[in-house]
Every structure is written in C-alpha cells, then in structure tokens.
Structure 1
Amino acid sequence: MALDTSTPAVTAGVVRDGVLLAERVTQDGRKHGELLMPGVQAACAEAGVRLPELDAIVVGAGPGPFTGLRVGMVTAAALGDALGVPVHGVCSLDAIAAVTPCEGNLLVATDARRREVYWAAYDGPEAHDGAGEGVRRLTGPHVGAAESIGVADLHVVAAAGTMADRFGLPVAGPATPTPLGLVAVAALHGVPGPLEPLYLRRPDAVPPGERKKVTP
C-alpha cells in the first residue's frame, strides 16, 4: 500500500510486483484526514486485497505542509503497527522524479505556500547509463522562492510537480506523487529507516507563551 498527503492530492494505491492494481486520488488539501482511510479501503477493495494481506506500507514523507503531511505519516505508522508490516518513508519529490521520463536533468517542485516551493533537482538517465539505479538527487529537498532557483546552473531541461509551470521549462511527468513512484523509491532504499517527516520549516502554529502578569 502506497500513501501520500504531501500535496492537496490525497493518494492511496495498491502495487504488486511493479504493477498498479488500484489507486484512489482525491484533490482536497483541507480534508486529508477525512479522505485518506476511505481511499485506502477503496483501493484495497478494487484490488481484491484485504488489509491483513499487505506486505508493506510506503508513505511520502514530504516535504509538505505540516498538517497534511502528518496525516499520511501517522496513518502509515498506525497501519504498519496494526498489521505488523514494515513502513517505508520516502521523499515525495523523489517519487515524482522516479516516474518522470526526462532526457537530462529534472527539476521537481511542489507548492510550499507563502509564495515558495519545495524543490529538488535530479540527474538524467544518461548520468548512470540506465543501470537500473533510478534517478539520483543532485540537490535538495529545499524550500524557497521559485525565482531564487538557479535553473541554468542546475542544467535542468524539464520540470515536474504541482509548480512545474513556474520555470519556463517543458513540463513532464505527474504533478503529484504516484503509488508506482513511491514504491519504486522504497525498493531502491531497501530496509526502511526511521519514519521522519520532511517539514523543512517550522509549523505556523506555536504553543502559547506565558501569560503576562497584570499588576494592580
């Protein structure tokens, strides 16, 4: 089972041996919590797979906004614990790059709000002779203004992701992470490491400070 809530797309899909059996994607950045588990259950039903039959959970670990990303990470951790299966956290930008055809370096960028983007750059397949290693990240993930990214210096020839149209480059690949991309990245990493979200910056919400003392 592959999950991602790093963008407004709430994604759940079942993949077996590199084949997508079922997928549910709902676009609503304000309802990650309400939509994710129904998507998981619908994807399992369509694939003819019961939750206890899953071998692993793969989840996009961001970068992404705090609230939405946390929904996917917590859900994946809970499923893994309940089912007794490993949980693989992978960079969501890597998952987009993994299924984006590009004859050269690729830029992947998604919306970070505040007029900024989350982004990373990847090398083209010729950099490693198509040896089945998948794309490799050259730099990132970072967060910043789109205009601050040195596209020419990175030698990128195309862009993918929800903010791909901001750079004057050909747009290639999916706008959001796909189940196939998530699983492909997890397969490259092998044994899962600690499940840690890539927030890249602090959440807007902060604990309240001490109350000011009022003297008569």
Structure 2
Amino acid sequence: MLVLAVDTATPAVTAGLVHLSPADDADSRPAVATLATRVKVDARAHAEVLTPQILECLAEAGVARADLDAVVVGIGPGPFTGLRVGMATAAAFGDALGLPVHGVCSLDAIAADSADEQREAGELLVVTDARRREVYWARYLDGARVAGPEVCKPADVPMGDAVAIAGSAAHVDDFDLPVLPNETPSPAGLVAVAAPALLAGAVPEALVPLYLRRPDAVENSFRTLAGAS
C-alpha cells in the first residue's frame, strides 16, 4: 500500500511517501518503508512549500498520483494557521484522487518514531511547541497513549511515570529526562499510527483538528465585540 503522509502541526512542514505492508505474524508490526521525504522547518511557510514538497516526493519515488492508495495527515495538536494548511491539502488530494484520508494525532506519530528506543523501558513524554510559553504534551506506555494530549506551561506538565522525552528541541531541555532524537512527526511515524485502520480498509473518521484552545483571531474578535457592546 502506497501512502502519502503530511504534517504541519509543528514548525516543520513535512511530506513523504511511505510503503505499508501487513505484519508477517501476530507478534510483529506492519512494515513501514519511507520512499521519499521532504522536511522544511519554517513556521511561516506551510502554505508555500507543502504542495511542492509533495510533488517532489512523487517525482523522486517515480510514483504517479494515481498510484496512491491513501493519505495520512497529522491533525495536531498545533497552531490554527499551520495545522489547517496540512489538513486542507490532505483533504484536497484525497477528494481529487478519490482516496481515504486518515487523521492521526501528531504527538502519536512522534511516539511511534520513538517506539524502538522506548519499548518496554517505561513511559515516554512527547512535547511540541504550543507558543505562548506553553507546550502540547502526551504520555505513552508501550506505544499507547496513556495521558493527553493537553496544553499547558512546561512546569505544569504532569510527569506521571515518564522516563524519557521526545519532541521539540526548544522544550525538551525544560524537563529533567533523557532526550530521544525524534523532534517532529515523520511520514513513517504518521503511517505507523494509521496502519491498523489502513490495512483493515476502515472508513476514515471526519478530520477534526486538535487545536486544544481557541485560535487567537477568534479570541481577539470576541474581545472586540464584547468591548463594543
């Protein structure tokens, strides 16, 4: 199965093509192989670079759009403007090509990228930049999310039984934990999270962004209206 994966929930604009195969047996995981990937870290360039990145990946892998079987997109948590670019682009590709579009939590994808280092070692904390001196966070045990996603200041993150951390390089040092090298969702991580649904041929759920708080534009508009009343 050939899957297009995109994520714009962090400052990294990510696109990639991933080949997904079923597990060989009940004790192994589905095989995920990255064929091409593009990542550009620029929180203000999501709209400008995502579609060109997708086209570059298709060209590099020698794959036509008609060869795609599905699309996976990170649904956050993330800032309003960047997040909606990735989700709208994924939805547009799916609609144009008649493909299922599966949304996955972007923090789950980082945890999936960290699974080999963290498996059976204890809980993993994943954090990404939420701006306003806050982080989005979630905790994982044996690859499964056990808390979150939520948003708060780093000092207020409930540590639970976390023994390691992955995610935003600008924030992992706020925590006294060993740091794993996965900073943003990878195409392989995104597809790994969606793999059970993809391989089962499940009908995707509606794409609902994980903002976790109201966008600034809405809050400011509300204050303006409230002040005028």
TM over 0.5: yes
What is the deviation of 1:211? 9.7
> Which runs of 5 or more residues in structure 1 are unaligned?
126-134
**Count of matched residue pairs:** 201
Percent of pairs identical after alignment? 58
Give 2:164's match in structure 1, choosing from 158, 161, 186.
158
Deviates more, 1:104-113 or 1:44-53: 44-53
Tell me the SS of whatever aligns to 1:209.
Answer: helix
Tell me the SS of whatever aligns to 1:205.
Answer: helix
Tell me the SS of whatever aligns to 2:129.
Answer: strand
1:194 paired with 2:206, answer yes
What is the deviation of 1:209? 2.9
Structure 2 CA distance, aligned partners of 1:120 and 1:189?
Answer: 21
The answer for the alignment partner of 1:131 in structure 2 is none
After superposition, where does 1:68-107 map in structure 2 within 5 Å? Answer: 68-100=82-114, 101-102=117-118, 103-107=121-125
1:209 paired with 2:225, answer yes
Q: Kindly report the root-mean-square deviation, in angstroms, between the aligned alpha carbons of the 2 structures.
A: 1.5
Structure 2 CA distance, aligned partners of 1:97 and 1:211?
Answer: 43
Tell me the SS of whatever aligns to 2:214.
Answer: coil
Structure 2 CA distance, aligned partners of 1:188 and 1:63?
Answer: 21
Q: Contact between 2:113 and 2:185, CA under 8 Å: does it hold in 1?
A: no
Structure 1 CA distance, aligned partners of 2:131 and 2:79?
Answer: 8
How far does the alpha carbon of each residue in 1:27-52 deviate from its partner, in whole angstroms, 9 at most, with x for none? Answer: 10001000100000011111111112
> Which runs of 5 or more residues in structure 2 are unaligned?
21-31
* TM-score, with length taken from structure 2: 0.84
CA 1:142–1:48 in 2, change beyond 3 Å: closer, same or farther? same
